Structure 1
Amino acid sequence: MESQMFAGFIQDRELRKCRAKGLFEQRVEQYLEELPDTEQSGVNKFLKGLGSKMRFLHKKN
C-alpha cells in the first residue's frame, strides 16, 4: 500500500521527467518576458547583489 508521501514523491519524479515548470517558474518567466530590455538588467543587478549579501551573511555565521 502506498503512503501519501510516496505518491507525492512519484508524482514529483514524473513531473521532473517532463521538465514541467512550477507556478513560481512560470510567473518568473512571464514577468521577465513582459519587462522591457532596459529593466531586465536592473533586475539582474538586484538579484546578484542580493545573492552576494546572502553569501556574506552565510559566511558570517
Structure 2
Amino acid sequence: MALGDTASTNVFSVELGEFQVKTVKCVGGLACGFEAVEVGEVTRLGSKSSGHAVQ
C-alpha cells in the first residue's frame, strides 16, 4: 500500500433488544505484493557464483 492510498472500513453490528450479539468489520482496498531481486556473488578468485532470488 503506497503512501496516500486509502482503505475503506465498514463496521456492522446486530443487536437483539439491548444486547449486541454480533459485530462484523470489513476492510477493503488493501493489497500486498512482493518483489524479487536476484543477488550475485563473486568468489575470492574473482569468478561469479550463481545468483539467487531474495524477497
TM interval, short-chain normalised: under 0.3
Higher relative contact order (CA 8 A, sep 6+): 2
If you compute each CA radius of gyration, which structure gives the higher value, 1 or 2? 2
Q: Between Structure 1 and Structure 2, which shows a larger proportion of helix residues?
A: 1
Q: Between Structure 1 and Structure 2, which shows a larger proportion of strand residues?
A: 2
